Chains A and B, each alone.
Chain A
Amino acid sequence: MTDQWTDRLSEYLDGELAGTERTAFEAHLASCDACRTTLDELRRVVTNARALDDRPPAADLWPAVAARIGLSARSQARPMARRFSFSVPQLAAASVVLALLSGGAAWLLGRRGAVATPPLVVSERTPTLLNAVVYPGDARYAAQVADLERALARGRGQLDTATVRVIERNLRIIDRAIRNAQSALAADPANSYLNLHLAQEMRRKLELLRQAATLAGARS
């Protein structure tokens, strides 16, 4: 059964009827059983659509995807050159996750007996802000870190000693976390939790260096 309103049922359901049209439709709806029934059915269709479950493919597509982008199925890194850049939101997001996971990571690393975390010692010597850590798996990351460290070193004179000390202290903490994660990963390379933790620590270092370099640059 159809009437002049039947084709407008979806518009009403989606809130696209307004003003006098909506008022007229609702007046009609009050007296039309067929439209009320159809409207209820359409509403159930929408509800069903939103409740559909996603299903993975029958076969794993990753080996084919990895092959097409030049990676082995259990790849470590991409061979081709690629621009390396992070946005502030990305880095901020990484730091949020780090905060959420740091406790678990510490527990996990501790269980593995990877590297005991020594008590923090604040250096009293003049901070250098250069703390070379080797990242053999990612030359671009190392280059990015080195660039920021050089930029920071150039502007270091614009920062007060206390600020420099805090920055250096935090960099040491991050570097220690990176080394711990690398040590743990050497024993368990496929551990996705450790991989994520390492990635986040590396990015946290980038973020800190970038912020510090920006601060130094702003004051120079």
Chain B
Amino acid sequence: MELTTPGVATLRRDPDQRALGDAETADAALAASGDGRAFERLYRAHVARVHSLVRRMVGPDHADDIAQDVFVRAWTKLATFRGEAAFGTWLHRLAVNVILARRTTLGTERGRYHDSADILDGVAGRPAAPELSMDFEEAIGRLPDGARQVFVLHDIEGYRHEEIADMLGIVAGTSKSQLHHARMALRKHLER
């Protein structure tokens, strides 16, 4: 995961996608003027990324609703997108904010950040055979809320501990600890 701007995690983009990124910047400007078709193109381009982020952060039950919230929020905030970063980066950070704001109603807020490896026993202590066959995504979904959110933000999305701590309202040391516990649990679900 590359970081192009300090403090901003980027969507994974290869150089060949830069022209597409430029087109998306143009579409974002057009959408900001009220063009629904331009916004739909942006939705089509990013819905898989946004939905996957939501699903990993809060689980599948509320993923559709929250992903919708992200795009509705993006529509209302398009005027604040100035083109300094890629549209995908802007949308991604907005998505994280929407997800984190929903944690309160979903009961996954700060209180779930237990700084202990014990809470991962439910993930790490499964029988050997199911572990080997368990899908890696499913294993992530079985992590406790706090460890899962830190793992998704750090190892999948590329945020730094300081950023994660700020977003989640925890200290960086807790973020590091949660990440390590999550990794230790997930290593048991690696395909051999």
**Could you tell me how many residues of chain A have their Cβ less than 8 Å away from some Cβ of chain B?**
58
- Mask for A42-59, Cβ within 8 A of B = 1, else 0? 101110111010111101
On chain A, the residues within 8 Å of B1 by CB distance are: 50
Minimum CB–CB distance for A177 against chain B, Å: 14
Mostly, the A contact residues are helix
Minimum CB–CB distance for B8 against chain A, Å: 15
Check B166 for interface membership: any CB of A closer than 8 A.
Answer: no
The answer to whether A69 touches B190, judged by C-beta atoms less than 8 angstroms apart, is no
Check A183 for interface membership: any CB of B closer than 8 A.
Answer: no
The answer to whether A54 touches B48, judged by C-beta atoms less than 8 angstroms apart, is yes
The answer to whether A140 touches B33, judged by C-beta atoms less than 8 angstroms apart, is yes
C-alpha spacing A132/B34, complex, angstroms: 21
**Known contacts A78-B36, A138-B35, A195-B37: does B68 contact A94 (CB below 8 Å)?**
no
Minimum CB–CB distance for B95 against chain A, Å: 12
Check B27 for interface membership: any CB of A closer than 8 A.
Answer: yes
Across the interface, name the chain B residue whose C-beta is closest to A13.
B183
C-alpha spacing A65/B43, complex, angstroms: 9
Contact among B28, B36, B72 with A90 in the assembled complex (CB-CB below 8 Å): B28
Check B124 for interface membership: any CB of A closer than 8 A.
Answer: no
C-alpha spacing A71/B38, complex, angstroms: 12
The answer to whether A45 touches B190, judged by C-beta atoms less than 8 angstroms apart, is yes
Check B165 for interface membership: any CB of A closer than 8 A.
Answer: no
Check B121 for interface membership: any CB of A closer than 8 A.
Answer: no
- Mask for A5-48, Cβ within 8 A of B = 1, else 0? 00101110000100000000000000000000010011011101
Check B159 for interface membership: any CB of A closer than 8 A.
Answer: no
- Mask for B27-59, Cβ within 8 A of A = 1, else 0? 111101111111111011001110110010000
C-alpha spacing A54/B83, complex, angstroms: 24
C-alpha spacing A131/B40, complex, angstroms: 31
The answer to whether A141 touches B33, judged by C-beta atoms less than 8 angstroms apart, is yes
On chain B, the residues within 8 Å of A90 by CB distance are: 25-26, 28-29, 82-83
Across the interface, name the chain A residue whose C-beta is closest to B137.
A52
Contact among B30, B82, B187 with A199 in the assembled complex (CB-CB below 8 Å): B30
The answer to whether A45 touches B186, judged by C-beta atoms less than 8 angstroms apart, is yes
Check A107 for interface membership: any CB of B closer than 8 A.
Answer: no
On chain A, the residues within 8 Å of B34 by CB distance are: 77-78, 80, 82, 84, 138, 140
Contact among B25, B41, B43, B63 with A93 in the assembled complex (CB-CB below 8 Å): B25
* Interface hub of B27, B51, B183, B190 (most chain A Cβ within 10 A): B183
Check A120 for interface membership: any CB of B closer than 8 A.
Answer: no
C-alpha spacing A89/B23, complex, angstroms: 12
The answer to whether B187 touches A52, judged by C-beta atoms less than 8 angstroms apart, is no
Q: What are the 10 tightest A-B residue pairs by CB atom distance, in nearest-first order?
A: A75-B36, A78-B34, A90-B83, A41-B187, A10-B180, A49-B155, A89-B83, A94-B26, A54-B52, A56-B48
